[in-house]
Structure 1
Amino acid sequence: MNPSIARDTPPPQTQEEATALHKQRLRAELLARRKALPEEDKAAADALIGQRVLHWCAAQAIHSLAVYQPIRREPDLSAAYNALAARGVHLCLPVVVDKQAALEFRAWQPGDMLEKDGMGTLVPPPGTAVVRPQALLIPCVGFNEKNYRLGYGGGFYDRTLAGESPPLSVGVCYHFGRADFAAQAHDMPLDALLTDGAVDAKSLP
């Protein structure tokens, strides 16, 4: 065998590497589809997801919830946040304190001041009260039939849910985000998954 050919032959992929590559490609496809979603369709989907979030919170008697500020055309659930605050639910927002750590959560209500962090995400400023929410509202790029989430690959929510006595977790995603992919060792399943499509019975209480 020609030695140069042997040196240029890539080693076989492990199952973990193959899964990671598949998720990377799937992430790119779903983000492109989300980017192309017409504004009118997006607004209707966001409103429906928001109503399902309100139903889930009421059914689970949620009194404190970590929400999110949308980036990269994630569902905009600001109307639901306003409704939750009006019901007396205490809201908070996630903050990245270290790229290898779990998320920190800072108290927030609609109208409170926010500032951009080092990753360009709007967060409550330093000095805001740090809280421990009862549940997390988590945006998803995609999800599979077992309620495993496809995110951006940073692992922040997985590390947060891997801790002791983790909060409840409810993912939100557009219906076209349902996909076939295997979970990796670090992935944590969500307790519920809400979309703008047909509601899966196991995703609601």
Structure 2
Amino acid sequence: MPPRIARDAIPVPMQNKLELRRTLLAARTALAPDQRQLFDRRIGTKILQWWRTEQPATLGVYWPMRGEPDLHQAYASLSEQGVQLALPIIVGDTTPLQFVQWTPGEALHKDRFGTSVPVAENALVQPQALLIPCLGFNAECFRLGYGGGFYDRTLAQQPRPRTLGVAYAFGEVDFANEVYDIALDMVITEEGTFQP
């Protein structure tokens, strides 16, 4: 298991986001397969517990890439309980994400950004809540992603869905928020739940 990136381990002034992204991607890559599976199961269990409390009928999810937590088992359980799942699609470099209906097992292909999207032209939906993968996050539940700004642009729209960040616990780090960053309502890791 990679060492936890402690707040006091980050130089002052805070690491810039590019360096932080490299460090966190390396830590994710270093996870042993059995450790990753254990973490993913724990995160999936916490998401199902959250859903039982919140019960959004439509939930935007993500297909994992670059070592993101794999929640396929949780997605299957949610779908079996009647939740309409939706995957994000990128329609332009500077536009908000859109979401299309998706059922686990449906065929996917990669778009030009490397994101997996349904092969079929499924209907657009506006999810009531979103599971958002985080490379890192800070104490105020601001998300560190890959730098494209897609989720920030999406969350700037109204009505804003409830947001649940998904990350590994070692992704809790210090970084400065930019003016366009939007805090998540909550972040779930294998170790616990964080709220601003």
TM-score (structure 2 length as normaliser)? 0.90
Shift of 1:96: 0.3
Contact between 2:186 and 2:193, CA under 8 Å: does it hold in 1? no
Q: Which residue type is aligned with residue 135 of structure 1?
A: A
2:39 is aligned, of 45, 68, 71, to 45
Q: CA offset at residue 119 of structure 1? A: 1.2
1:181 is matched with which residue: 175, 178, 181?
175
Structure number having the greater strand percentage: 2
- Output the amino acid matched with 1:93: L
Amino acid at match of 1:24: L
Inter-partner Cα distance in structure 1 for 2:171 and 2:75: 23
Query: 2:24 & 2:68 partners in 1: Cα distance?
Result: 11
The ranges of structure 1 where at least 4 consecutive aligned residues each deviate by more than 3 angstroms after the TM superposition are none
Correspondent of 1:54 among 48, 53, 72: 48
Higher relative CO (Cα under 8 Å, sequence separation at least 6) belongs to: 2
**Secondary structure in 1 matching 2:73:** helix
Tell whether 2:165 aligns with 1:171.
Answer: yes
Per-residue deviation at 1:125? 3.1
Deviation at 1:134, TM superposition (A): 0.5
Aligned equivalents of 2:171, 2:63: Cα separation in 1: 19
Contact 2:131 / 2:164 at 8 angstroms: preserved in 1? yes
What is the percent sequence identity of the aligned residues?
46
5+ residue gaps, structure 1: 1-17
- Mapped to 1, the partners of 2:164 and 2:193 lie a distance apart of 13
C-alpha RMSD of matched pairs (Å): 1.5
Partner of 2:71: 77
| Structure 1 position 33, deviation (Å) | 0.5
Letter in 1 for 2:72: S
What is the alpha-carbon distance in structure 1 between the residues aligned to residue 154 and residue 51 of structure 2? Answer: 20
Aligned residues: 184
- Which amino acid counterpart does residue 123 of structure 2 have in structure 1? A
Letter in structure 1 aligned against 2:66:
R
Higher helix fraction (1 or 2): 1
Quick one: distance in 2 between partners of 1:199 and 1:124? 30
Larger Rg: 1
Summarize the Cα distance change of 1:137–1:131 in structure 2 as closer, same or farther, 3 Å threshold: same
1:91 aligns with 2:85: yes
Q: 2: CA distance between counterparts of 1:113 and 1:196?
A: 29
What is the CA–CA distance in structure 1 between the aligned matches of 2:185 and 2:35, rounded to whole Å? 27
Displacement of 1:126 in angstroms is 5.9
Residue in structure 2 matched with residue 15 of structure 1 by the alignment: none
1:66 alignment partner in structure 2: 60
Name the counterpart of 2:3.
Answer: none
Distance 1:120 1:180 in 2: 28
Instruction: Choose which of 182, 186, 192 in structure 2 pairs with 1:192.
Output: 186
SS where residue 86 of structure 2 aligns?
Answer: strand
1:98-157 CA-to-partner distances (Å, cap 9, x unmatched) read 010000101000011211111122101362101110011000000000000000000000
Residue 143 of structure 2 is aligned to residue 149 of structure 1: yes
For 2:46 and 2:167, the matched residues in 1 are separated by: 12
Residue 16 of structure 2: SS of its match in structure 1? helix
> Gaps spanning 5+ residues in structure 2: where?
1-12
